[in-house]
Amino acid sequence: MQKILIVEDDLALNAGLCFELDTSGYLTVAAYNCQKAQQLLKTDHFDLAILDINLPDGNGFDLARETISRSNV
């Protein structure tokens, strides 16, 4: 089963995305800010991350850059 990280601070949108993906056979993990997403990315493997651009403690572009530079992809 493929695991997807959903990083979205809008609780209803995050829950909706997780629900739809879960019912389509994916395993989702929710994060509501960059700090939580970074913790999850350090301790777990994800096949895909869906990132919001404007987060309360940063943005999805920077989070993606940091994640890619850490993994040396």
Q: Which residues pair with 7 in a beta bridge?
A: 31, 51
pLDDT value for 34: 97
**Alpha-helical regions (H) of 1-73:** 11-23, 34-43, 60-71
* More confident: 71 or 38: 38
pLDDT value for 59: 95
Tens digits of residue pLDDT in 48-72: 999 999 999 999 999 999 998 887 6
pLDDT value for 70: 80
Tens digits of residue pLDDT in 4-15: 999 999 999 999
Residue 60 CA from chain centroid, whole number: 9
In this structure, how many other beta carbons lie within 10 angstroms of the beta carbon of residue 27? 13
pLDDT value for 24: 98
Query: CA–CA separation, 59 vs 23, rounded Å?
Result: 28
